[in-house]
Amino acid sequence: RSRSEEIDKDREAYLMGMDTTASLQAPELVREVALHGRKRLLDLGGGPGTYAVHFCLHNPELTAVVLDLPSTRPFAEKTIRRFGLERRIDFEPGDFLEQPELGRGYDVVWISHVLHGEGPEACRRILAKAHRVLVSGGLLLIHDFFLDAQGDSPFFPALFSLNMLLTTTQGRTYRESEVRSMLEAAGFARIERLPFRGASASGVLQAEAG
């Protein structure tokens, strides 16, 4: 098997793992996020698009765009087709770290398990870009692991942070207070932690664009 084929297989395994993990908690999660009246969602770094699918299934008036690297496209489109949502969910190839702008006119941005892979400066850039794509009053939803004020619990997010420090250049799990400060610096207000708690102690921070 060629090196290219090995990379493709590894990518497929990773993305399908993302799909499996998201599929287990997305049905519960989307019920705890109030998107009534929202029309257009950007799933930033959405991989196979699993969360976009479940948000649209739960919110019949919602449409979505999954933005991720071009290599992710076939996996996302396969997921979208499986649920018959081709008319409501599009895939947009792109690099949210490198692109200066990510579009306009969204009233929801969903960012799931993205920030922990990046350093603080990259996180600030991502949140600033998310603010620019949102209409006034639009919602940003960050699904990730968040540490407490001491930075050493809950257990799994703390353990996961160690893994990120060992396997990425700058990634780590952030204290909830750190993410709140980043959101405020990007121009967000009305920041709140939603009641949802994932199986591995993941959570959701919600913020509103001014």
pLDDT tens sequence for the chain (210 residues): 544 444 455 455 445 555 556 677 899 999 999 999 999 999 999 999 999 999 999 999 999 999 999 999 999 999 999 999 999 999 999 999 999 999 999 999 999 999 999 999 999 999 999 999 999 999 999 999 999 999 989 988 898 888 888 888 899 999 999 999 999 999 999 999 999 999 889 999 999 998
Contact in structure between 81 and 90 (CB atoms under 8 Å): no
Amino acid occupying residue 156? F
Q: How high is the pLDDT of residue 162?
A: 85
Q: What is the DSSP letter of 34?
A: -
Alpha-carbon span 6 to 76, nearest angstrom: 20
> Which of 107, 142, 112 has the alpha carbon at shortest distance from 18?
112
Alpha-carbon span 47 to 19, nearest angstrom: 8
Q: How high is the pLDDT of residue 5?
A: 44
Distances in Å between the Cα of 177 and the Cα atoms of 49, 97, 132, 200 are 28, 23, 22, 19
Beta bridge partners of 150: none
